[in-house]
Amino acid sequence: MSKNKMFSDGSSRHPYPHKLPEFLYHGTVASKVESIMSRGLVPRGERPATDDLTSPSVRDYVYLGTLNRSANHICRVMEWNLAPKKGIKDNVVVLQVDTSFLKKHLLRPDEDWCTQWDAAPPDYVESSGTWVFEGRVYPDEEEAQLAATGELVEWARRCWYDSLVEEESIAYKGIVPPQAIRVVASDEWDRGLRSLRARWAAEYLGMTTNSEAA
């Protein structure tokens, strides 16, 4: 889809009603599964973002996607970030979420889908070395930008279905309950997921080898 002003009023271009598929998915690592099955999928809040390859995710959301999107995302994060940069050795896991447990009014578009618009930029206050957005003061630009991105996502909240169709991913502003979740794949026993992880590892190795040669 071309990035334009088609959605200038924040409304969806897809006809209503918007229906969720029966299941969505979430990629994670094996060491987190026990906690997830006890507490549910919880927005990251003040925890650091797992994926620092792109801009940090908004703190208030859980991210869900298609099986393909979720599997690719967690394998890429593991092989491009967690394993080589942080020395984390873990299995990757894909969780299936029964969408009948989700509340539709908490669905949001993924902020990656919202990049067709520019978020209102925060202001830098030189005298204090802080950043201000919507009257709130933030200690650094990243936190202020996260606030600006979160506001953009809230403005575009009616476009969650567009995000699911076009980005294969949505955000959920709440906790996904444990009873909605089950493990459907782990690279410990799923050959397809193991192969996918190996492909991302090889791609990362190729990039770093080319970078060193240059």
Tens-place pLDDT, residues 69-127? 999 999 999 999 888 888 889 999 999 999 999 999 999 999 889 877 766 777 888 88
pLDDT tens string 127-174: 888 888 777 888 888 778 778 888 889 988 999 999 999 999 999 999
Q: Is the four-CA dihedral 178, 44, 65, 6 of positive or negative sign?
A: positive
Q: Output the pLDDT for position 104.
A: 95
Contact, 145 vs 122, CB < 8 A?
yes
Average pLDDT on 197-202 reads 95
Alpha-carbon separation of residue 145 from 1, 59, 116, 131 (angstroms): 25, 12, 16, 9
CB-count exposure of residue 129 (10 Å: 0-12, 13-18, 19+): exposed
Strand-pairing partners, residue 94, are: 27, 185
pLDDT beyond 60 at 213: no
Percentage above 70 pLDDT, the chain: 87
**Residues 204, 206: Cα–Cα separation, whole Å:** 5
Residue 91 falls in which region: left (phi positive, over 0), alpha (psi -120 to 50) or beta: beta
What domains lie within the chain, and their CATH numbers?
Answer: 23-117+156-192 (3.20.170.30)
Q: Output the pLDDT for position 5.
A: 40
Q: DSSP per residue over 14-48, as a string?
A: SPSPP---SEEEEEEEGGGHHHHHHH-B---TTSP
With bands split at pLDDT 50, 70 and 90, how would you rate the model's confidence at 14? confident
Would you state the structure tokens that stand for residue 54, as one six-digit string?
Answer: 């792109």
CB-count exposure of residue 164 (10 Å: 0-12, 13-18, 19+): buried
